[in-house]
């Protein structure tokens, strides 16, 4: 039984082979990796219990979404997971997964590094997550944000072309690409105009459009997604929900005054659990149409104040709220709500985790981190 060709139809997640047939593995020649991060299994082994395993390469695997995606893929038990990390000594998000991953340490801004990884892994699916992912940081470092996000993707595409691999690629954009959304345009569909209002958003539009261009010009199997705000354990404190949760956890331990510093609490945002989002990434790469772009979100937009109130309600402390001008963005969108009907129609995906549960897990995560540090 052969793997389904990638002519626009949905690819199979695994291939079962009759016992009397020889197992097939793509002829990739003899490769070796002089890497201290390689797991015990060989790169040349594709088969497990008469199942041909898929190879998934995650750039930015040690990041927030990357670590959750790695967990999800490993849970499928039919995917070998490979990843790139910038600094192998600073990858706490995937410490609990190390024995099950094969990692490559380097800079995706270095074409030769990216090319060597693609050559060695010969991935079936590539999830391009490596990026400077904070709009707040992009205001301080617009040049490095754009260079990192765009050059890394170009290197990846060029490496795929030169390596002659047939990989399906997921390019992760952002709801920030929509930027200034008019009240009449909510909920936001994929056809909405892109009006970026921060440097990060501009870099993500460039990534998005590069994905389409390489699909159109080079016939690469590129699927693009625009996830709205996603939250969960292991997210950096530069993001609003993690920032609130960390401050509450610190106050509970007596490490700071019982005050939460905030920015704009009136903004309404579409928050989704990161576990739902990464499940969406898998469905996008396996069921999505190359060349298409899909929104991922919950379709519900509580105010930031409501999210903060829910977190404060889970604490035994009486905590004040104070606005910190340094936490206000130079420009902000009052309301951003996702219309994910196109993606749901294509893949039957929809969010499963309620916001209250996710918020509780984020707060417990920060309580645990603060306790470990004490």
Q: Give the confidence band of 347 by pLDDT, cuts at 50, 70, 90.
A: very high
What pLDDT is attached to residue 229?
97
Output the DSSP codes for 50-71.
TEE-EEEEEETTTSHHHHHHHH
Q: Which domains does the chain have, with CATH numbers?
A: 44-235+271-300+336-352 (3.40.50.720)
Q: What does each C-alpha distance from 114 to 83, 117, 278 come to in angstroms? A: 11, 5, 23
Residue 271, beta-bridge partner list: none
Average pLDDT over residues 327-336: 84
Place of tokens 């990026």: 131
What pLDDT is attached to residue 7?
38
- What phi and psi, each to the nearest 5 degrees, are found at residue 114? -60, -45
To which H or E segment does residue 104 belong?
A: strand 102-105
User: What is this structure's pTM?
Assistant: 0.87
144-197 pLDDT, tens digit each: 999 999 999 999 999 999 999 999 999 999 999 999 999 999 999 999 999 999
Least confident of 3-12, 90-99, 230-239, 273-282: 3-12
Q: What does each C-alpha distance from 230 to 227, 307, 332 come to in angstroms? A: 7, 13, 18
Output the DSSP codes for 174-195.
-GGGGBS--GGGPSBPTTSPPB
């Amino acid at each position: 039984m052969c793997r389904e060709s990638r002519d626009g139809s949905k690819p199979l997640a695994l291939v079962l082979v009759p016992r009397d047939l020889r197992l097939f593995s793509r002829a990739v020649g003899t490769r070796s990796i002089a890497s201290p991060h390689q797991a015990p299994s060989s790169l040349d082994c594709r088969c497990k219990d008469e199942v041909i395993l898929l190879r998934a390469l995650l750039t930015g695997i040690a990041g927030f979404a990357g670590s959750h995606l790695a967990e999800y893929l490993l849970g499928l038990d039919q995917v070998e997971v490979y990843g790139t990390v910038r600094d192998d000594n600073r990858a706490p998000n995937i410490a609990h997964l190390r024995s099950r991953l094969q990692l490559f340490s380097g800079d995706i801004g270095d074409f030769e590094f990216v090319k060597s990884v693609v050559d060695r892994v010969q991935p079936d699916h590539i999830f391009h997550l490596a990026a400077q992912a904070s709009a707040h940081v992009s205001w301080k470092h617009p040049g490095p944000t754009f260079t990192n996000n765009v050059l890394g993707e170009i290197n990846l595409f060029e490496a795929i072309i030169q390596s002659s691999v047939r990989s399906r690629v997921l390019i992760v954009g952002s709801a920030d690409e929509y930027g200034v959304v008019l009240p009449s345009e909510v909920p936001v569909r994929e056809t909405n105009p892109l009006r970026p209002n921060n440097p990060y958003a501009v870099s993500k539009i460039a990534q998005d459009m590069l994905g389409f261009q390489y699909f159109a010009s080079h016939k690469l199997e590129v699927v693009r997604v625009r996830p709205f705000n996603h939250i969960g354990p292991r997210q950096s404190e530069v993001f609003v929900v993690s920032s609130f949760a960390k401050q509450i956890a610190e106050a509970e331990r007596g490490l700071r005054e019982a005050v939460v510093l905030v920015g704009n609490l009136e903004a309404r945002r579409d928050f989704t659990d990161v576990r739902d989002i990464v499940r969406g990434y898998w469905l996008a790469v396996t069921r999505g149409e190359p060349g298409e772009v899909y929104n991922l979100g919950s379709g519900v937009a509580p105010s930031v104040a409501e999210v903060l109130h829910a977190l404060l309600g889970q604490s035994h402390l009486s905590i004040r709220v104070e606005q910190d001008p340094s936490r206000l963005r130079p420009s902000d969108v009052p309301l951003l709500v996702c219309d994910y009907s196109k993606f749901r129609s294509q893949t039957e995906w929809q969010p499963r985790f309620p916001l209250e549960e996710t918020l509780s897990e984020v707060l417990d995560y920060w309580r645990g981190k603060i306790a470990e540090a004490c």
